[in-house]
A and B are shown apart, each in its own frame.
Chain A
Amino acid sequence: MQKALFQYALRLGDNALILSQRLSQWCGKGPALEEDMALTNVALDLLGQARLWLDYAGELEGAGRDQDSLAFLRAPHEYYNLLLVEQPNGHYGDTLARQWYFDVWHSLLLQRLAGSAEPRIAAIAEKSEKEARYHLRRSSDLVIRLGDGSELSRSRMQQSVDDLWMFTGEMFVGDDVDAVLVAEGIAPAPESLRAPWLETVGEVLREATLTAPAPDAWMQKGGKQGVHGEHLGHLLTEMQWLQRSYPGAQW
């Protein structure tokens, strides 16, 4: 039970941390000043959430690891984030599609976790949900603007929506860790989020005049169990460099 909780807290923390790191890579390079600020503000919210989850995970583990050691001293196979969030930034449509798919799922998940039987999870989720919902409004708005925009923006947005689709299936596949927490009323069954996710995604795509990819398409999976693509290793190499080279460095 404690082990499943630890794993679950890591998953939540890793999603937030890795997506935050990806978004931070846009800092100073956004396509417009407003977008640069938006991306880094979302990154900041996610970083704050990651810290709350990783602190909790460290306490559950009880082995003296804090948020910093969990963030900076774990290898790729010890990370349990979704494959979606580690995907490279690509062009702006790619960054946006990744964010939007995540925001819809994240809002739905946090909404359910806010009613968790575990008070600490409920409190962190309650705090994070409001932020996630704000992120969702912005990312939905931009998907619509770019989808229902120029011929070029439309074709690029459609391509990004199609390309990243195969990384969305994993969000709705439960495993042993999920099963333990579902039985205790601590977390929702991942499968139960699929219908509302598809509904919201469908609504926004229609308004964006984009075509929804097939829900039964072949999907990638493995991130939740620590099986990642090549991208995560490169991301961690950069993110962890300082603590790996100068262990315990502080400033």
Chain B
Amino acid sequence: MVTEETKAGTPTQDCRQIWAWLEQVPDPELPAISVVDLGIVRDVAWEREDDEEEDGAATCVITITPTYSGCPAMEVIASAIREVLQARGVARIRLETRLSPAWTTDWMSAAGRDKLRAYGVAPPAWQAIDTSAIKLHWRPRRQSVDCPRCGSANTECVSEFGSTACKALYRCKDCLEPFDYFKPH
């Protein structure tokens, strides 16, 4: 039950508290890791109208960035963020989408990488695509990806694309298990 006071959405919960709550919002495709771990949440801020009193209603503005342009999970993520914050008494929420700087797997937290590996998905192994190079790199990047199950580096790429836009499909030649690889992006 939400009380009148919290319904007004006061900035008494500071931004760190909001961030902590957002860490509980799982990625819908990879429930082991949160939208904060993934680097999808870019900013948390309170916005207050000038003419409102000190204790008046304020809006919590969450800025998110899409992973891939066509990622179908973004709408689910946006509504999950709303739900979690509303359940904590934040009534006024606005979600903004920011495209630039473009999302990169370099933003993934170290904790996020560990959680991915434990979940059976190999985390991005090297630095994301470098778009600063003028010359187009058309050669596929074949670098070793460690198997998240047995740790072997003796793996091969089965497909550049996997079950979701953000993953590629690999196979371990030692333990013979297939696994998802989170593409560096």
Interface residues in chain A, defined as those with a beta carbon under 8 Å from any beta carbon in chain B: 34, 37-38, 41-42, 44-49, 51-52, 104, 107-108, 111, 114, 119, 122-124, 126-131, 133-134, 136-138, 140-141, 196, 200, 203-204
For B69, the closest partner residue in chain A by CB is A48
| Cβ–Cβ contact A38 & B160, under 8 A | yes
- Is B100 close to A, CB under 8 A? yes
- Is B161 close to A, CB under 8 A? yes
- Is B79 close to A, CB under 8 A? no
Given A130-B185, A138-B160, residue A48 in contact with residue B101 (CB < 8 A) = no
Q: Known pairs A45-B165, A127-B102. 7 more at Cβ < 8 A?
A: A45-B70, A126-B99, A127-B103, A131-B69, A133-B129, A133-B131, A133-B137
Q: Which of A34, A127, A134 contacts B169 (CB 8 A)?
A: A34
| Cβ–Cβ contact B138 & A104, under 8 A | yes
Return chain A residues, CB-CB under 8 Å to B159: 34, 37-38
Given A111-B131, A114-B131, residue A37 in contact with residue B136 (CB < 8 A) = no
- Is B175 close to A, CB under 8 A? no
For B159, the closest partner residue in chain A by CB is A34
For B162, the closest partner residue in chain A by CB is A37
Q: Which of A104, A108, A124, A126 contacts B101 (CB 8 A)?
A: A126
| Cβ–Cβ contact B69 & A45, under 8 A | yes
Return chain A residues, CB-CB under 8 Å to B70: 44-49, 51
* Complex CA–CA separation, A128 to B102 (angstroms): 9
In chain B between 62 and 112, which residues have their CB closer than 8 angstroms to a CB of chain A?
66, 68-72, 99-104
Interface residues in chain B, defined as those with a beta carbon under 8 Å from any beta carbon in chain A: 66, 68-72, 99-104, 128-129, 131, 134, 136-141, 158-163, 165, 169, 183, 185
The 8 closest A-B pairs by CB, nearest first: A48-B70, A48-B69, A34-B159, A123-B100, A140-B138, A44-B70, A41-B161, A123-B99
Which one of A47, A119, A124, A127 has the highest number of Cβ atoms from chain B below 10 Å of its Cβ?
Answer: A127
| Cβ–Cβ contact B162 & A127, under 8 A | no
For A20, the closest partner residue in chain B by CB is B70
Can you list 22 A-B pairs, Cβ within 8 angstroms, ordered by A? Answer: A34-B158, A38-B161, A44-B72, A45-B70, A48-B68, A49-B70, A51-B69, A52-B69, A108-B136, A114-B131, A119-B100, A122-B100, A126-B100, A126-B101, A126-B131, A129-B102, A130-B131, A131-B68, A133-B137, A136-B136, A137-B139, A140-B138
For A124, the closest partner residue in chain B by CB is B99
Q: Which of A42, A131, A137 contacts B138 (CB 8 A)?
A: A137
| Cβ–Cβ contact B131 & A140, under 8 A | no
Q: How far is the CB of B149 from chain A (nearest CB, A)?
A: 21
Return chain B residues, CB-CB under 8 Å to A46: 70
For B100, the closest partner residue in chain A by CB is A123
* Complex CA–CA separation, A136 to B133 (angstroms): 15
Return chain A residues, CB-CB under 8 Å to B102: 123, 126-127, 129-130
For A140, the closest partner residue in chain B by CB is B138
Return chain A residues, CB-CB under 8 Å to B129: 130, 133-134
Return chain A residues, CB-CB under 8 Å to B134: 111
Given A133-B131, A138-B160, residue A107 in contact with residue B71 (CB < 8 A) = no
* Complex CA–CA separation, A107 to B72 (angstroms): 23
For B169, the closest partner residue in chain A by CB is A34
* Complex CA–CA separation, A140 to B160 (angstroms): 12
| Cβ–Cβ contact A127 & B138, under 8 A | no
* Complex CA–CA separation, A137 to B143 (angstroms): 14
Return chain B residues, CB-CB under 8 Å to A48: 66, 68-71
Return chain B residues, CB-CB under 8 Å to A196: 136
* Complex CA–CA separation, A45 to B136 (angstroms): 19
Return chain A residues, CB-CB under 8 Å to B185: 130, 134
Q: How far is the CB of A216 from chain B (nearest CB, A)?
A: 23
Return chain B residues, CB-CB under 8 Å to A136: 136, 138
Q: How far is the CB of A75 from chain B (nearest CB, A)?
A: 25
| Cβ–Cβ contact B140 & A138, under 8 A | yes
Return chain A residues, CB-CB under 8 Å to B104: 130
